[in-house]
Amino acid sequence: IMAIMMIDRWLHIVAGVMWIGLLYYFNFVQVPAMAAATADKDGPGPAAIGKYVAPRALFWFRWAALVTWLTGAIFLATAPQYSLHGAFTLGIGAHNASLTAIGFGAWLGTIMLFNVWGLIWPNQKKILGIVQASDAEKATARRVAFLASRTNTLLSIPMLMFMQAGAHGIPF
């Protein structure tokens, strides 16, 4: 079981780096680049990003989010110092600050996962023309995807802080 836990933790870290890295790429690079490409009347426009880069980045983004969450849940369920139930109940009754901390991190990660699969991806499919949508639906989709993505960016630092606080016993 120790080898499985080591592989799980490795996958959790690799997928998490990919997920948060792509989240930061979208918010700090791609969104401003799309705006600049749209505003540049003499340039090539945003089509290349929307057709070639965004769908591929969103593929890795959403699957990295799911793998991160699943491997985190497996870790919580198998690590002797934690429990999946204990984390998601924030250690209430267990009087375990590490369980409470990692539980807050797990909840933030769960909210972020929901944002990826329930808000960002369905709306990005409309924006990128993967599914049919009117101009009004695309405008709404842009706003919803933007707000969900910015929310995830804001939640990412506290999520990482709580995850590390749980793992390292740092008081919060």
Q: Enumerate residues 6+ apart whose C-beta is below 8 A from 68.
A: 12, 15, 16, 19, 109, 113
pLDDT tens digit string along 75-96? Answer: 999 988 889 999 999 999 888 8
Amino acid at position 53, single letter: V
| pLDDT mean across residues, the chain | 94
pLDDT tens digit string along 117-150? Answer: 999 999 999 999 999 999 999 999 999 999 999 9
Predicted TM-score (pTM) above 0.85: yes
